[in-house]
A and B are shown apart, each in its own frame.
Chain A
Protein backbone atom coordinates (compact mmCIF):
# COMPACT_ATOMS: atom_id res chain seq x y z
CA UNK A 1 0.00 0.00 0.00
CA UNK A 2 1.07 3.55 -0.61
CA UNK A 3 1.13 6.38 1.88
CA UNK A 4 -1.77 6.31 4.33
CA UNK A 5 -4.56 8.56 3.19
CA UNK A 6 -5.98 10.77 5.90
CA UNK A 7 -9.74 10.37 5.71
CA UNK A 8 -10.76 12.05 8.93
CA UNK A 9 -12.31 15.51 8.72
CA UNK A 10 -10.00 18.40 9.45
CA UNK A 11 -11.93 19.45 12.58
CA UNK A 12 -11.53 16.03 14.14
CA UNK A 13 -7.77 16.08 13.57
CA UNK A 14 -7.57 19.54 15.10
CA UNK A 15 -9.57 18.52 18.15
CA UNK A 16 -7.50 15.38 18.56
CA UNK A 17 -4.36 17.46 18.63
CA UNK A 18 -5.96 19.82 21.13
CA UNK A 19 -6.95 16.85 23.24
CA UNK A 20 -3.39 15.61 23.35
CA UNK A 21 -2.33 19.16 24.19
CA UNK A 22 -4.89 19.23 26.99
CA UNK A 23 -3.71 15.92 28.35
CA UNK A 24 -0.11 17.10 28.31
CA UNK A 25 -1.05 20.39 29.94
CA UNK A 26 -2.99 18.88 32.83
CA UNK A 27 -0.41 16.16 33.38
CA UNK A 28 2.33 18.80 33.60
CA UNK A 29 0.29 20.86 36.07
CA UNK A 30 -0.50 17.72 38.06
CA UNK A 31 3.21 16.99 38.32
CA UNK A 32 3.49 19.94 40.70
CA UNK A 33 2.86 17.70 43.72
CA UNK A 34 5.58 15.11 43.04
CA UNK A 35 7.93 17.90 41.97
CA UNK A 36 7.39 19.80 45.24
CA UNK A 37 7.88 16.63 47.26
CA UNK A 38 11.21 15.92 45.60
CA UNK A 39 12.22 19.57 45.89
CA UNK A 40 11.47 19.59 49.64
CA UNK A 41 13.71 16.60 50.27
CA UNK A 42 16.54 17.91 48.06
CA UNK A 43 16.38 21.36 49.65
CA UNK A 44 16.51 19.96 53.19
CA UNK A 45 19.39 17.66 52.19
CA UNK A 46 21.31 20.61 50.83
CA UNK A 47 20.56 22.84 53.84
CA UNK A 48 21.59 20.11 56.28
CA UNK A 49 24.90 19.60 54.45
CA UNK A 50 27.17 21.20 57.13
CA UNK A 51 25.68 19.06 59.90
CA UNK A 52 25.63 15.91 57.78
CA UNK A 53 29.28 16.50 56.97
CA UNK A 54 30.29 17.25 60.57
CA UNK A 55 28.44 14.52 62.47
CA UNK A 56 27.76 11.76 59.92
CA UNK A 57 25.49 8.96 61.05
CA UNK A 58 26.49 9.51 64.68
CA UNK A 59 24.06 12.45 64.72
CA UNK A 60 21.24 9.94 65.15
CA UNK A 61 22.48 8.58 68.50
CA UNK A 62 24.28 11.60 69.89
CA UNK A 63 22.44 13.00 72.90
CA UNK A 64 24.13 16.40 73.23
CA UNK A 65 22.44 19.60 72.13
CA UNK A 66 24.75 22.47 72.81
CA UNK A 67 24.86 25.43 70.41
CA UNK A 68 27.75 26.99 72.37
CA UNK A 69 30.13 24.09 71.79
CA UNK A 70 28.53 23.24 68.43
CA UNK A 71 27.83 19.68 69.48
CA UNK A 72 24.52 18.28 68.32
CA UNK A 73 22.83 14.87 68.50
CA UNK A 74 19.27 13.85 67.71
CA UNK A 75 18.62 11.01 70.15
CA UNK A 76 16.53 12.83 72.80
CA UNK A 77 14.32 14.38 70.10
CA UNK A 78 13.94 11.05 68.31
CA UNK A 79 13.12 9.37 71.61
CA UNK A 80 10.50 12.02 72.47
CA UNK A 81 8.91 11.78 69.03
CA UNK A 82 8.66 7.99 69.13
CA UNK A 83 7.53 7.85 72.78
CA UNK A 84 4.74 10.44 72.38
CA UNK A 85 3.51 8.85 69.15
CA UNK A 86 3.61 5.34 70.61
CA UNK A 87 1.64 6.27 73.75
CA UNK A 88 -0.82 8.23 71.59
CA UNK A 89 -1.36 5.19 69.36
CA UNK A 90 -1.88 2.84 72.31
CA UNK A 91 -4.57 5.19 73.62
CA UNK A 92 -6.16 5.97 70.25
CA UNK A 93 -6.33 2.52 68.64
CA UNK A 94 -9.11 0.92 70.78
CA UNK A 95 -11.21 4.09 70.71
CA UNK A 96 -10.58 4.71 67.02
CA UNK A 97 -11.55 1.18 65.97
CA UNK A 98 -14.68 1.35 68.16
CA UNK A 99 -15.65 4.63 66.49
CA UNK A 100 -15.02 3.09 63.06
CA UNK A 101 -17.22 0.09 63.88
CA UNK A 102 -20.04 2.30 65.13
CA UNK A 103 -19.80 4.60 62.09
CA UNK A 104 -19.71 1.69 59.64
CA UNK A 105 -21.86 -1.03 61.14
CA UNK A 106 -24.12 0.04 64.00
CA UNK A 107 -27.37 1.80 64.66
CA UNK A 108 -29.46 4.15 62.57
CA UNK A 109 -28.12 6.22 59.70
CA UNK A 110 -29.22 9.42 61.44
CA UNK A 111 -27.29 8.76 64.63
CA UNK A 112 -24.25 7.66 62.62
CA UNK A 113 -24.48 10.88 60.61
CA UNK A 114 -24.40 13.01 63.76
CA UNK A 115 -21.51 11.05 65.29
CA UNK A 116 -19.64 11.17 61.97
CA UNK A 117 -20.03 14.95 61.80
CA UNK A 118 -18.64 15.20 65.31
CA UNK A 119 -15.57 13.14 64.42
CA UNK A 120 -14.99 15.24 61.29
CA UNK A 121 -15.18 18.45 63.30
CA UNK A 122 -12.63 16.95 65.69
CA UNK A 123 -10.33 16.64 62.67
CA UNK A 124 -11.04 20.21 61.58
CA UNK A 125 -10.00 21.98 64.79
CA UNK A 126 -6.63 23.67 64.23
CA UNK A 127 -3.60 22.26 66.01
CA UNK A 128 -2.94 25.51 67.84
CA UNK A 129 -6.44 25.50 69.38
CA UNK A 130 -5.80 22.00 70.73
CA UNK A 131 -2.53 23.42 72.00
CA UNK A 132 -3.99 26.30 74.02
CA UNK A 133 -6.74 24.02 75.38
CA UNK A 134 -4.23 21.38 76.37
CA UNK A 135 -1.94 23.94 77.97
CA UNK A 136 -4.57 25.62 80.17
CA UNK A 137 -7.25 22.96 80.67
CA UNK A 138 -6.21 19.41 79.84
CA UNK A 139 -2.63 19.28 81.13
CA UNK A 140 -3.37 20.74 84.60
CA UNK A 141 -6.33 18.36 84.96
CA UNK A 142 -4.33 15.31 83.93
CA UNK A 143 -1.53 16.36 86.26
CA UNK A 144 -3.86 16.57 89.27
CA UNK A 145 -6.20 13.66 88.61
CA UNK A 146 -4.07 11.11 86.76
CA UNK A 147 -0.35 11.76 87.12
CA UNK A 148 -0.20 12.64 90.83
CA UNK A 149 -2.36 9.68 91.98
CA UNK A 150 -0.43 7.25 89.78
CA UNK A 151 2.96 8.42 90.98
CA UNK A 152 1.73 8.36 94.59
CA UNK A 153 0.48 4.79 94.42
CA UNK A 154 2.89 3.22 91.96
CA UNK A 155 6.10 4.20 93.68
CA UNK A 156 7.98 1.08 92.61
CA UNK A 157 7.97 1.89 88.87
CA UNK A 158 10.46 4.65 88.20
CA UNK A 159 9.15 5.80 84.85
CA UNK A 160 5.73 6.53 86.36
CA UNK A 161 7.05 9.02 88.91
CA UNK A 162 7.80 12.73 89.23
CA UNK A 163 4.69 14.23 87.64
CA UNK A 164 4.92 17.61 85.91
CA UNK A 165 2.23 19.82 84.38
CA UNK A 166 4.06 19.93 81.07
CA UNK A 167 5.49 16.66 79.95
CA UNK A 168 5.68 13.78 77.54
CA UNK A 169 2.51 12.05 78.76
CA UNK A 170 0.36 15.18 78.36
CA UNK A 171 1.67 15.70 74.84
CA UNK A 172 0.80 12.07 74.06
CA UNK A 173 -2.79 12.54 75.27
CA UNK A 174 -3.29 15.58 73.03
CA UNK A 175 -1.76 13.65 70.15
CA UNK A 176 -4.16 10.76 70.78
CA UNK A 177 -7.12 13.14 70.47
CA UNK A 178 -5.68 14.67 67.31
CA UNK A 179 -4.95 11.41 65.44
CA UNK A 180 -8.22 9.75 66.41
CA UNK A 181 -10.24 11.23 63.47
CA UNK A 182 -7.65 10.01 60.91
CA UNK A 183 -7.58 6.57 62.46
CA UNK A 184 -11.35 6.16 62.66
CA UNK A 185 -12.25 7.72 59.30
CA UNK A 186 -9.88 5.47 57.34
CA UNK A 187 -10.75 2.38 59.41
CA UNK A 188 -14.42 3.10 58.73
CA UNK A 189 -13.80 3.20 54.97
CA UNK A 190 -11.83 -0.03 55.15
CA UNK A 191 -14.56 -1.75 57.19
CA UNK A 192 -17.16 -0.56 54.69
CA UNK A 193 -15.13 -2.07 51.86
CA UNK A 194 -15.40 -5.55 53.39
CA UNK A 195 -17.62 -7.56 51.00
CA UNK A 196 -21.25 -7.57 52.12
CA UNK A 197 -21.46 -11.29 51.39
CA UNK A 198 -19.16 -12.14 54.31
CA UNK A 199 -21.35 -10.25 56.73
CA UNK A 200 -24.54 -11.74 55.36
CA UNK A 201 -23.11 -15.26 55.57
CA UNK A 202 -22.14 -14.74 59.20
CA UNK A 203 -25.61 -13.45 60.06
CA UNK A 204 -27.22 -16.32 58.14
CA UNK A 205 -25.18 -18.74 60.26
CA UNK A 206 -26.71 -17.15 63.35
CA UNK A 207 -23.84 -14.94 64.47
CA UNK A 208 -24.73 -11.98 66.69
CA UNK A 209 -23.70 -8.40 65.89
CA UNK A 210 -20.55 -8.66 67.94
CA UNK A 211 -19.61 -12.12 66.64
CA UNK A 212 -20.07 -10.90 63.06
CA UNK A 213 -17.86 -7.90 63.62
CA UNK A 214 -15.22 -9.46 65.86
CA UNK A 215 -14.84 -12.80 64.09
CA UNK A 216 -15.60 -11.89 60.46
CA UNK A 217 -15.46 -8.20 59.61
CA UNK A 218 -12.51 -7.02 61.70
CA UNK A 219 -10.26 -9.96 60.69
CA UNK A 220 -10.87 -9.35 57.00
CA UNK A 221 -10.32 -5.59 57.42
CA UNK A 222 -7.18 -6.21 59.50
CA UNK A 223 -4.57 -5.11 56.98
CA UNK A 224 -6.46 -1.93 56.12
CA UNK A 225 -6.97 -1.02 59.76
CA UNK A 226 -3.26 -1.59 60.30
CA UNK A 227 -2.69 0.82 57.42
CA UNK A 228 -4.95 3.39 59.08
CA UNK A 229 -2.97 3.00 62.31
CA UNK A 230 0.32 3.55 60.48
CA UNK A 231 -1.13 6.60 58.69
CA UNK A 232 -2.20 8.01 62.06
CA UNK A 233 1.34 7.30 63.30
CA UNK A 234 2.65 9.44 60.46
CA UNK A 235 0.41 12.32 61.57
CA UNK A 236 1.50 11.91 65.18
CA UNK A 237 5.21 11.94 64.32
CA UNK A 238 4.93 15.22 62.44
CA UNK A 239 2.50 17.11 64.68
CA UNK A 240 4.21 20.26 65.85
CA UNK A 241 2.36 23.08 67.51
CA UNK A 242 0.11 21.39 70.06
CA UNK A 243 2.96 19.16 71.20
CA UNK A 244 5.35 22.09 71.46
CA UNK A 245 2.92 23.86 73.79
CA UNK A 246 2.60 21.05 76.34
CA UNK A 247 5.66 18.80 76.18
CA UNK A 248 7.81 21.08 78.35
CA UNK A 249 10.71 21.50 75.91
CA UNK A 250 13.62 19.84 77.71
CA UNK A 251 16.28 18.33 75.44
CA UNK A 252 16.78 15.18 77.50
CA UNK A 253 15.60 11.59 77.56
CA UNK A 254 13.29 11.86 80.58
CA UNK A 255 13.49 9.28 83.37
CA UNK A 256 9.69 9.30 83.71
CA UNK A 257 6.95 9.59 81.08
CA UNK A 258 5.43 12.44 83.11
CA UNK A 259 8.60 14.53 82.81
CA UNK A 260 9.25 17.25 80.19
CA UNK A 261 10.82 16.13 76.91
CA UNK A 262 11.16 17.31 73.31
CA UNK A 263 10.20 16.10 69.84
CA UNK A 264 11.92 16.59 66.46
CA UNK A 265 9.22 18.95 65.23
CA UNK A 266 9.05 21.05 68.39
CA UNK A 267 12.82 21.56 68.61
CA UNK A 268 12.69 23.00 65.09
CA UNK A 269 9.64 25.15 65.87
CA UNK A 270 11.22 26.61 69.01
CA UNK A 271 14.83 27.08 68.00
CA UNK A 272 15.08 27.63 64.24
CA UNK A 273 14.38 31.36 64.32
CA UNK A 274 17.06 31.91 66.98
CA UNK A 275 19.65 29.61 65.43
CA UNK A 276 22.79 31.45 64.33
CA UNK A 277 26.03 30.31 62.73
CA UNK A 278 26.21 27.52 60.20
CA UNK A 279 26.20 24.32 62.22
CA UNK A 280 23.26 25.12 64.52
CA UNK A 281 20.63 25.79 61.79
CA UNK A 282 22.01 22.92 59.74
CA UNK A 283 21.59 20.57 62.70
CA UNK A 284 17.97 21.73 63.05
CA UNK A 285 17.36 21.13 59.33
CA UNK A 286 18.89 17.69 59.75
CA UNK A 287 16.30 16.99 62.47
CA UNK A 288 13.68 18.06 59.90
CA UNK A 289 15.27 15.73 57.35
CA UNK A 290 15.11 12.78 59.77
CA UNK A 291 11.46 13.65 60.47
CA UNK A 292 10.43 13.95 56.83
CA UNK A 293 12.21 10.78 55.73
CA UNK A 294 10.64 8.77 58.56
CA UNK A 295 7.14 10.12 57.84
CA UNK A 296 7.68 9.49 54.12
CA UNK A 297 8.47 5.82 54.66
CA UNK A 298 5.65 5.43 57.20
CA UNK A 299 3.10 7.11 54.90
CA UNK A 300 4.02 5.18 51.77
CA UNK A 301 3.88 1.90 53.69
CA UNK A 302 0.46 2.83 55.15
CA UNK A 303 -0.97 3.95 51.82
CA UNK A 304 0.07 0.70 50.17
CA UNK A 305 -1.64 -1.27 52.95
CA UNK A 306 -4.86 0.76 52.83
CA UNK A 307 -5.07 0.67 49.04
CA UNK A 308 -4.35 -3.03 48.74
CA UNK A 309 -7.20 -3.92 51.08
CA UNK A 310 -9.78 -1.66 49.53
CA UNK A 311 -8.83 -2.80 46.03
CA UNK A 312 -9.07 -6.44 47.07
CA UNK A 313 -12.44 -5.68 48.59
CA UNK A 314 -13.66 -4.15 45.36
CA UNK A 315 -12.48 -7.12 43.34
CA UNK A 316 -14.12 -9.70 45.56
CA UNK A 317 -17.44 -8.01 46.19
Chain B
Protein backbone atom coordinates (compact mmCIF):
# COMPACT_ATOMS: atom_id res chain seq x y z
CA UNK B 1 0.00 0.00 0.00
CA UNK B 2 1.55 3.29 -0.97
CA UNK B 3 1.58 6.36 1.16
CA UNK B 4 -1.30 8.20 -0.50
CA UNK B 5 -3.80 5.40 -0.27
CA UNK B 6 -2.81 4.93 3.37
CA UNK B 7 -3.62 8.59 3.95
CA UNK B 8 -6.96 8.21 2.21
CA UNK B 9 -7.89 5.14 4.26
CA UNK B 10 -6.84 6.75 7.49
CA UNK B 11 -8.93 9.83 6.66
CA UNK B 12 -11.92 7.62 6.02
CA UNK B 13 -11.36 5.75 9.27
CA UNK B 14 -11.23 9.00 11.23
CA UNK B 15 -14.43 10.20 9.53
CA UNK B 16 -16.07 6.92 10.49
CA UNK B 17 -14.93 7.39 14.08
CA UNK B 18 -16.39 10.92 14.13
CA UNK B 19 -19.74 9.55 12.90
CA UNK B 20 -19.60 6.77 15.49
CA UNK B 21 -19.04 9.30 18.29
CA UNK B 22 -21.95 11.40 16.99
CA UNK B 23 -24.22 8.36 17.12
CA UNK B 24 -22.90 7.62 20.62
CA UNK B 25 -23.95 11.13 21.61
CA UNK B 26 -27.48 10.47 20.35
CA UNK B 27 -27.91 7.16 22.22
CA UNK B 28 -28.96 8.91 25.47
CA UNK B 29 -31.69 10.77 23.56
CA UNK B 30 -33.16 7.50 22.34
CA UNK B 31 -32.85 5.87 25.75
CA UNK B 32 -34.45 8.78 27.62
CA UNK B 33 -37.35 8.91 25.16
CA UNK B 34 -37.82 5.14 25.21
CA UNK B 35 -37.80 4.70 28.98
CA UNK B 36 -39.97 7.74 29.62
CA UNK B 37 -42.59 6.46 27.18
CA UNK B 38 -42.39 2.85 28.39
CA UNK B 39 -42.57 3.72 32.08
CA UNK B 40 -44.79 6.80 31.82
CA UNK B 41 -47.47 5.65 29.41
CA UNK B 42 -49.26 3.26 31.82
CA UNK B 43 -49.75 6.15 34.28
CA UNK B 44 -50.77 8.69 31.67
CA UNK B 45 -53.54 6.53 30.21
CA UNK B 46 -55.12 6.17 33.66
CA UNK B 47 -58.36 8.20 33.54
CA UNK B 48 -57.59 10.02 36.81
CA UNK B 49 -54.09 11.07 35.79
CA UNK B 50 -54.93 14.52 34.50
CA UNK B 51 -57.51 15.33 37.17
CA UNK B 52 -57.09 14.07 40.72
CA UNK B 53 -54.59 15.81 42.89
CA UNK B 54 -52.01 14.04 44.98
CA UNK B 55 -53.32 11.86 47.80
CA UNK B 56 -52.88 13.28 51.28
CA UNK B 57 -49.74 12.01 53.01
CA UNK B 58 -50.27 8.29 53.57
CA UNK B 59 -47.09 7.09 55.24
CA UNK B 60 -46.22 4.53 56.44
CA UNK B 61 -48.69 2.48 54.39
CA UNK B 62 -49.50 3.88 50.97
CA UNK B 63 -51.84 2.01 48.64
CA UNK B 64 -50.09 0.04 45.91
CA UNK B 65 -52.25 1.63 43.23
CA UNK B 66 -53.32 5.17 44.01
CA UNK B 67 -55.81 7.47 42.41
CA UNK B 68 -53.32 10.30 42.64
CA UNK B 69 -53.00 12.43 39.55
CA UNK B 70 -50.98 15.41 38.45
CA UNK B 71 -53.84 17.74 37.49
CA UNK B 72 -52.79 20.22 40.18
CA UNK B 73 -49.20 20.22 38.89
CA UNK B 74 -50.26 20.80 35.30
CA UNK B 75 -52.50 23.69 36.40
CA UNK B 76 -49.69 25.16 38.49
CA UNK B 77 -47.19 24.92 35.65
CA UNK B 78 -49.66 26.51 33.22
CA UNK B 79 -50.46 29.41 35.58
CA UNK B 80 -46.87 30.12 36.56
CA UNK B 81 -45.43 29.80 33.06
CA UNK B 82 -48.29 31.98 31.78
CA UNK B 83 -47.57 34.71 34.32
CA UNK B 84 -43.84 34.46 33.66
CA UNK B 85 -44.46 34.83 29.93
CA UNK B 86 -46.56 37.97 30.51
CA UNK B 87 -43.60 39.47 32.34
CA UNK B 88 -40.63 38.18 30.38
CA UNK B 89 -41.79 38.15 26.75
CA UNK B 90 -42.67 41.86 26.27
CA UNK B 91 -39.60 43.02 28.19
CA UNK B 92 -37.42 40.51 26.37
CA UNK B 93 -38.70 41.53 22.94
CA UNK B 94 -38.11 45.24 23.59
CA UNK B 95 -34.66 44.43 24.94
CA UNK B 96 -33.95 42.38 21.83
CA UNK B 97 -35.05 45.26 19.59
CA UNK B 98 -32.63 47.52 21.43
CA UNK B 99 -29.79 45.03 21.02
CA UNK B 100 -30.41 44.63 17.29
CA UNK B 101 -31.33 48.19 16.30
CA UNK B 102 -28.73 49.98 18.38
CA UNK B 103 -26.16 47.22 18.31
CA UNK B 104 -23.21 49.59 18.04
CA UNK B 105 -24.13 51.43 21.25
CA UNK B 106 -21.57 50.78 23.99
CA UNK B 107 -24.33 49.92 26.47
CA UNK B 108 -25.71 47.30 24.07
CA UNK B 109 -22.57 45.19 24.35
CA UNK B 110 -22.88 45.24 28.16
CA UNK B 111 -26.55 44.26 27.92
CA UNK B 112 -25.62 41.44 25.55
CA UNK B 113 -22.93 40.17 27.92
CA UNK B 114 -25.37 40.38 30.86
CA UNK B 115 -27.96 38.36 28.92
CA UNK B 116 -25.44 35.65 28.06
CA UNK B 117 -24.19 35.50 31.65
CA UNK B 118 -27.76 35.38 32.96
CA UNK B 119 -28.54 32.44 30.63
CA UNK B 120 -25.61 30.61 32.20
CA UNK B 121 -26.45 31.56 35.79
CA UNK B 122 -27.33 28.48 37.87
CA UNK B 123 -31.12 28.38 38.17
CA UNK B 124 -30.87 27.41 41.84
CA UNK B 125 -29.22 30.79 42.51
CA UNK B 126 -32.16 32.51 40.81
CA UNK B 127 -34.41 30.58 43.18
CA UNK B 128 -32.43 31.83 46.20
CA UNK B 129 -32.59 35.39 44.88
CA UNK B 130 -36.36 35.39 44.38
CA UNK B 131 -36.81 33.73 47.77
CA UNK B 132 -34.99 36.59 49.47
CA UNK B 133 -36.73 39.14 47.30
CA UNK B 134 -40.37 38.01 47.25
CA UNK B 135 -40.91 35.16 49.72
CA UNK B 136 -39.21 36.59 52.80
CA UNK B 137 -40.93 40.03 52.69
CA UNK B 138 -44.40 38.48 52.19
CA UNK B 139 -43.81 35.63 54.64
CA UNK B 140 -45.22 32.91 52.39
CA UNK B 141 -44.42 30.88 49.30
CA UNK B 142 -46.47 31.80 46.25
CA UNK B 143 -47.13 31.09 42.61
CA UNK B 144 -46.27 34.72 41.90
CA UNK B 145 -42.74 34.33 43.23
CA UNK B 146 -42.37 31.11 41.19
CA UNK B 147 -43.50 33.01 38.11
CA UNK B 148 -40.97 35.78 38.75
CA UNK B 149 -38.17 33.20 39.09
CA UNK B 150 -39.20 31.63 35.77
CA UNK B 151 -39.42 35.08 34.17
CA UNK B 152 -35.81 35.86 35.18
CA UNK B 153 -34.85 32.64 33.45
CA UNK B 154 -36.85 33.41 30.28
CA UNK B 155 -35.91 37.07 29.85
CA UNK B 156 -32.38 36.71 28.43
CA UNK B 157 -33.45 33.87 26.11
CA UNK B 158 -36.25 35.98 24.61
CA UNK B 159 -33.99 39.03 24.29
CA UNK B 160 -31.16 37.18 22.52
CA UNK B 161 -33.40 35.26 20.11
CA UNK B 162 -35.34 38.45 19.27
CA UNK B 163 -32.02 40.15 18.56
CA UNK B 164 -31.04 37.28 16.28
CA UNK B 165 -34.35 37.37 14.40
CA UNK B 166 -34.29 41.15 13.95
CA UNK B 167 -30.73 41.19 12.67
CA UNK B 168 -31.70 38.59 10.06
CA UNK B 169 -33.96 41.20 8.41
CA UNK B 170 -32.10 42.81 5.49
CA UNK B 171 -31.15 46.45 5.90
CA UNK B 172 -33.05 47.34 2.71
CA UNK B 173 -36.37 47.04 4.51
CA UNK B 174 -35.19 49.35 7.28
CA UNK B 175 -33.76 51.85 4.80
CA UNK B 176 -36.85 51.93 2.62
CA UNK B 177 -38.97 52.62 5.68
CA UNK B 178 -36.70 55.48 6.72
CA UNK B 179 -36.60 56.77 3.15
CA UNK B 180 -40.39 57.01 3.19
CA UNK B 181 -40.04 59.30 6.19
CA UNK B 182 -41.17 56.86 8.86
CA UNK B 183 -39.72 57.55 12.31
CA UNK B 184 -37.34 54.92 13.74
CA UNK B 185 -39.85 53.59 16.26
CA UNK B 186 -42.42 52.90 13.51
CA UNK B 187 -39.78 51.25 11.38
CA UNK B 188 -38.80 49.05 14.31
CA UNK B 189 -42.24 48.16 15.58
CA UNK B 190 -44.41 48.21 12.47
CA UNK B 191 -42.02 47.22 9.70
CA UNK B 192 -39.21 45.12 11.20
CA UNK B 193 -41.19 43.32 13.89
CA UNK B 194 -43.83 41.79 11.57
CA UNK B 195 -41.04 40.55 9.31
CA UNK B 196 -39.10 39.15 12.26
CA UNK B 197 -42.20 37.75 13.97
CA UNK B 198 -41.59 34.04 13.27
CA UNK B 199 -38.11 34.21 14.77
CA UNK B 200 -39.35 36.16 17.75
CA UNK B 201 -42.16 33.65 18.31
CA UNK B 202 -39.63 30.83 18.12
CA UNK B 203 -37.54 32.45 20.83
CA UNK B 204 -40.59 32.97 23.04
CA UNK B 205 -41.67 29.34 22.55
CA UNK B 206 -38.22 28.02 23.41
CA UNK B 207 -38.17 30.17 26.52
CA UNK B 208 -41.61 28.83 27.52
CA UNK B 209 -40.41 25.25 27.03
CA UNK B 210 -37.30 25.92 29.09
CA UNK B 211 -39.31 27.52 31.91
CA UNK B 212 -41.86 24.71 31.86
CA UNK B 213 -39.14 22.16 32.51
CA UNK B 214 -37.31 23.97 35.31
CA UNK B 215 -37.40 22.62 38.85
CA UNK B 216 -34.65 24.34 40.79
CA UNK B 217 -35.95 27.95 40.79
CA UNK B 218 -39.37 26.78 42.02
CA UNK B 219 -38.23 24.80 45.08
CA UNK B 220 -37.99 27.85 47.37
CA UNK B 221 -40.54 30.06 45.61
CA UNK B 222 -43.63 28.11 44.51
CA UNK B 223 -42.67 25.40 47.03
CA UNK B 224 -45.31 22.84 45.94
CA UNK B 225 -48.79 21.80 47.05
CA UNK B 226 -50.79 18.62 47.56
CA UNK B 227 -54.04 20.01 46.18
CA UNK B 228 -55.27 21.99 43.21
CA UNK B 229 -54.41 25.66 43.78
CA UNK B 230 -55.61 28.29 41.31
CA UNK B 231 -54.69 31.36 43.35
CA UNK B 232 -51.11 32.40 42.50
CA UNK B 233 -50.85 34.09 45.87
CA UNK B 234 -50.46 30.65 47.47
CA UNK B 235 -47.91 27.88 47.21
CA UNK B 236 -48.35 25.92 43.98
CA UNK B 237 -47.26 22.61 42.51
CA UNK B 238 -45.52 22.32 39.12
CA UNK B 239 -44.88 19.31 36.87
CA UNK B 240 -41.08 19.21 37.21
CA UNK B 241 -41.38 19.41 40.99
CA UNK B 242 -43.78 16.47 40.88
CA UNK B 243 -41.22 14.40 38.99
CA UNK B 244 -38.45 15.43 41.39
CA UNK B 245 -40.35 14.72 44.62
CA UNK B 246 -42.22 11.54 43.60
CA UNK B 247 -39.18 9.96 41.94
CA UNK B 248 -37.27 10.07 45.22
CA UNK B 249 -40.09 8.56 47.31
CA UNK B 250 -39.97 4.84 48.09
CA UNK B 251 -43.54 4.16 46.86
CA UNK B 252 -43.96 2.38 43.53
CA UNK B 253 -47.31 4.07 42.83
CA UNK B 254 -45.86 7.55 43.23
CA UNK B 255 -42.75 6.65 41.21
CA UNK B 256 -45.11 5.61 38.40
CA UNK B 257 -46.77 9.03 38.69
CA UNK B 258 -43.34 10.64 38.40
CA UNK B 259 -42.65 8.78 35.14
CA UNK B 260 -46.08 9.84 33.87
CA UNK B 261 -45.37 13.47 34.72
CA UNK B 262 -41.96 13.17 33.03
CA UNK B 263 -43.68 11.89 29.89
CA UNK B 264 -46.07 14.86 29.88
CA UNK B 265 -43.09 17.21 30.28
CA UNK B 266 -41.15 15.58 27.45
CA UNK B 267 -44.14 15.68 25.10
CA UNK B 268 -44.64 19.37 25.88
CA UNK B 269 -40.99 20.23 25.35
CA UNK B 270 -40.62 18.21 22.14
CA UNK B 271 -43.84 19.62 20.69
CA UNK B 272 -42.73 23.18 21.36
CA UNK B 273 -39.33 22.48 19.85
CA UNK B 274 -40.69 20.90 16.69
CA UNK B 275 -43.23 23.71 16.19
CA UNK B 276 -40.58 26.36 16.70
CA UNK B 277 -38.21 24.69 14.23
CA UNK B 278 -40.99 24.77 11.67
CA UNK B 279 -41.68 28.46 12.36
CA UNK B 280 -37.97 29.22 12.15
CA UNK B 281 -37.62 27.52 8.77
CA UNK B 282 -40.42 29.76 7.48
CA UNK B 283 -38.62 32.78 8.92
CA UNK B 284 -35.41 31.93 7.10
CA UNK B 285 -37.31 31.39 3.85
CA UNK B 286 -39.10 34.71 4.38
CA UNK B 287 -35.92 36.62 5.17
CA UNK B 288 -34.36 35.14 2.06
CA UNK B 289 -37.21 36.40 -0.08
CA UNK B 290 -37.06 39.97 1.21
Residues of A in contact with B (beta carbons under 8 Å apart):
12, 15-16, 18-19, 21-23, 25-27, 29-34, 36-37, 39-40, 43-44, 46-47, 94-96, 98-99, 101-103, 106-107, 115, 117-122, 124-133, 135-138, 177, 180, 184, 208-211, 214, 231, 234-235, 237-241, 245, 265, 268-269, 272-273, 284-285, 288, 291-292, 295-296, 299-300, 303
* Among candidates B18, B99, B122, B216, residue contacting A295 with C-beta atoms closer than 8 Å: B122
Nearest CB in chain B to that of A300: its residue: B117
A70 to chain B, nearest CB (A): 20
Number of contact residues on B: which range applies? 35 or more
List, in ascending order, chain A residues with CB within 8 A of B266's CB: 125-126, 129
Contact A129 B184 (CB under 8 A): no
Contact A22 B184 (CB under 8 A): yes
What are 6 A-B contacts defined by CB distance under 8 Å? Answer: A22-B188, A26-B102, A30-B159, A40-B125, A130-B32, A299-B120
Q: For the complex, what is the distance from the CA of A34 to the CA of B99, rounded to whole Å?
A: 13
Contact A34 B219 (CB under 8 A): no
Q: For the complex, what is the distance from the CA of A231 to the CA of B132, rounded to whole Å?
A: 28
Q: For the complex, what is the distance from the CA of A87 to the CA of B220, rounded to whole Å?
A: 30
Interface majority SS (helix, strand, loop, mixed), chain A: helix
Instruction: Write the B210-222 contact mask toward A (1 if CB under 8 angstroms, else 0).
Output: 0011111001100
Q: For the complex, what is the distance from the CA of A96 to the CA of B21, rounded to whole Å?
A: 8
List, in ascending order, chain A residues with CB within 8 A of B117's CB: 37, 296, 299-300, 303
Additional pairs, 12, CB under 8 Å, beyond known A30-B94, A47-B132, A106-B18: A39-B129, A47-B128, A127-B240, A130-B32, A132-B262, A133-B36, A136-B247, A208-B8, A265-B122, A265-B124, A273-B219, A303-B116
Which residues, 61 to 115 on B, are CB-close (under 8 Å) to A? 91, 94-95, 97-99, 101-102, 105, 107-108, 110-111, 113-115
Q: For the complex, what is the distance from the CA of A129 to the CA of B240, rounded to whole Å?
A: 8
Asked whether any CB of chain A lies closer than 8 Å to the CB of B243, the reply is yes
Q: For the complex, what is the distance from the CA of A94 to the CA of B17, rounded to whole Å?
A: 11
Q: 10 closest pairs, A vs B, by CB?
A: A126-B213, A238-B122, A208-B11, A22-B185, A98-B21, A15-B183, A34-B114, A30-B95, A210-B11, A30-B98
